[in-house]
Amino acid sequence: DKAIEYLEEAQSISNKLGHVGDEKTSMDLLGQCCLSTGNYERAIECFAKVLEFVRLEGKAKKEMEVLNMLAQACFKGNVFDRAELNFKLSLEKAQKLGSKEVQAQVLDDLGRLCNTVKKYQSAITYLKEGKTLAHQNNLKIREMGILENLSMTYMQTSKHKKAFDCLDGALEIGRKLGDNRWQGLILKKMGDYHKSLKEYTAAIEKYERGLPKVRKFAVLPIEYSLLENLGNTYLEIGGYEKSMICFRHSRTLGKKHADPYMEAKALWNLSLTCQRSREDGEALSFAEMATQTCLGAQNNEDVKNLAAEIKEWMIKRVEDEIKDSGL
Three-state SS string across 226-242, please? HHHHHHHHHHHCCCHHH
Instruction: Note whether 105 and 63 are same-domain residues.
Output: no
- Residue that terminates a domain, selected from 76, 92, 108: 92
Q: Average the pLDDT over 148-157 and give the result.
A: 98
Question: In the prediction, which pLDDT does 298 show?
Answer: 67
Question: In the prediction, which pLDDT does 95 show?
Answer: 97
* Interval 70-95: pLDDT, tens: 999 999 999 999 999 999 999 999 99
The C-alpha atoms of residue 98 and residue 85 are separated, in whole angstroms, by 20
**Segment among 3-7, 39-43, 122-126, 188-192 with least mean pLDDT:** 3-7
Instruction: Note whether 134 and 24 are same-domain residues.
Output: no
Instruction: Note whether 209 and 244 are same-domain residues.
Output: no
Question: In the prediction, which pLDDT does 326 show?
Answer: 66
- Identify whether 225 is part of a domain: no
For residue 134, the one-letter residue type is A
* Interval 94-120: pLDDT, tens: 999 999 999 999 999 999 999 999 999
Instruction: Note whether 214 and 106 are same-domain residues.
Output: yes
Question: In the prediction, which pLDDT does 21 show?
Answer: 79
* Interval 249-275: pLDDT, tens: 999 999 999 999 999 999 999 999 999
> Given a cut of 80, is residue 4 above it in pLDDT?
no
- Identify whether 230 is part of a domain: no
Rg of the Cα trace of the chain?
24
What range defines the domain where residue 170 resides? 99-218
- Residue that terminates a domain, selected from 60, 75, 92: 92
Instruction: Note whether 275 and 178 are same-domain residues.
Output: no
Which tops the pLDDT comparison, 297 or 232? 232
Work out the mean pLDDT of the chain and round it to a whole number.
Answer: 93
Q: Average the pLDDT over 201-207 and give the result.
A: 98
Query: Do the beta carbons of residue 313 and residue 301 sit within 8 Å?
Result: no
**Number of domains observed in the structure of the chain:** 3
Percent of the chain scoring above 90 in pLDDT: 81
Instruction: Note whether 103 and 214 are same-domain residues.
Output: yes
* Interval 35-49: pLDDT, tens: 999 999 999 999 999
- Residue that terminates a domain, selected from 65, 92, 119: 92
Instruction: Note whether 306 and 212 are same-domain residues.
Output: no
Maximum alpha-carbon separation in the chain: 83
Handedness of CA 179, 180, 181, 182 (dihedral sign): positive
Q: What is the CATH number of the domain that holds 177?
A: 1.25.40.10
